[in-house]
Amino acid sequence: MSHITILGGTGYAGRHIAAEAVSRGHDVVVVARRAPENQLDGVSCVTGDATNQDFLADLVSKTEVVIFTLAPRGDMLGKVVQVARKLIPLAAQHGVRLGVLGGAGSLKVSEDGPRLIDTDAFPAEFKPESTEMIEVLEDLRAAEDSLQWFYISPAAGFGGYNPGERKGTYRTGGDILISDDDGKSDLSGADLGIAFVDEVEEPQHRNARFAVAY
């Protein structure tokens, strides 16, 4: 059993990760600015400001794994990368493994192709969010080697607008977007949760980004 702390743990992705982790017997704490109206059974909630250095330091000192699912949108746009820059050295200092939910925008559409964010098909309104998470990935890659981290880029069609159903399976890849034979790139929230907890329990990607989709 691991002690897992999820930043943004009451959001769409964080809630699915928390549910999967607690179902496997892990000690799970979700972190949010305000307590959720419907809290998951078996999950503890801590409220506070993730942009605060002292608050982050206290969280990291009490856990084994931090899952970072904060989304740079709304009033958090421009702040998520700043939180990550506080969190990265804290995780390295305390020997805490850091797992980050990124986006699909930084994935290439093919071996020799452009990144998804650089294609005409990528919605302009999502570019600021994707660009910020690319910065977080770059910061992780530049971090000292003592930091243990992984970064998951889910399917292009991943999100609360496309919840899908739990299949209990997924595929992983490197830096290339994963699509099915029909060109669709999907992943349910439940199966993202499985992928995250699988990586926590049996690490396969040390200090690496990997794609997850069907």
Question: 27-32 and 43-47: which strand pairing?
Answer: parallel
24 exposure class (CB count in 10 Å sphere: 0-12, 13-18, 19+): middle
Q: Determine the structural domain holding residue 11 and report its residue range.
A: 3-213
Q: What is the pLDDT of residue 36?
A: 84
Instruction: Quickly list DSSP for 23-83.
Output: HTT-EEEEEESS--SSPPTTEEEEE--TT-HHHHHHHHTT-SEEEE-----GGGTTTHHHH
Amino acid type, 107: L
Mean pLDDT in residue range 178-182? 95
* Gap between the terminal Cα atoms of the chain: 28
Count of domains observed in the chain: 1
pTM score: 0.96
Spell out the residues 6+ positions from residue 119 whose beta carbon is closer than 8 angstroms to its own.
109
Model confidence pLDDT, tens digit, residues 16-51: 999 999 999 999 999 999 888 888 999 999 999 999
Model confidence pLDDT, tens digit, residues 74-118: 999 999 999 999 999 999 999 999 999 999 999 999 999 899 999
Strand order of the β-sheet with 43-47 is 43-47, 27-32, 3-7, 65-68, 97-101, 149-154, 208-213, 171-173
Q: What is the pLDDT of residue 116?
A: 97
97: domain CATH number? 3.40.50.720
Model confidence pLDDT, tens digit, residues 134-165: 999 999 999 999 999 999 999 999 999 999 99
